[in-house]
Amino acid sequence: MQTIKLPPLTLAIAVSEEERQQAIQLLQQSKLPAQDIDDDKLLYLLKEGNKVIGTAGLEIFEDYTLLRSVSVIEEEQGKGYGKLINNELESYAKESGINCLYLLTTTAKDFFDKQGYCVIKREETPEAIKQTAEFSSLCPSSAVVMKKRL
């Protein structure tokens, strides 16, 4: 097995307005929805020093969560950062009492298949998630809905 030495990284909630704007900018560059990002959505930034490498978000409901927009800057893709972000957010969700994650994707089905997510029918999505802007208007109806039990 090959060992890859990663630089010191930080994954933390984007709390300042500057950090939230950095996350939104990366989402826009990645052509992911950012129009409804507001203070009730947890945004995470993966950084190497001051350089933003990736982002993701959680929209938390009772005992399930909508995983939002795991993205990594283009020049750092394929290095395991997306998996790292996803694993950390799954751990956080599980520790917070969340037992299931849902997501919508038009481009990353294969990535999430490898992370243990499975495709479900849109009508099997919890009602609260169906009411989100991401589900109801931002993502096209052709987006795949995926689910993972934690």
Residue pLDDT, tens place only, 35-53 = 677 666 678 889 888 888 9
The pTM of the full predicted model, rounded to 2 decimals, is: 0.84
Domain residue spans in the chain? 10-149
Burial class (CB in 10 A: 0-12, 13-18, 19+), 49: exposed
Which pLDDT does position 6 carry in this prediction?
56
pLDDT at position 84 over 50: yes
Residue 4: is its pLDDT beyond 70? no
Taking Cα atoms as reference points, which of 83, 78, 17, 2 lies closest to residue 46? 83
Q: What is the CATH number of domain 10-149?
A: 3.40.630.30
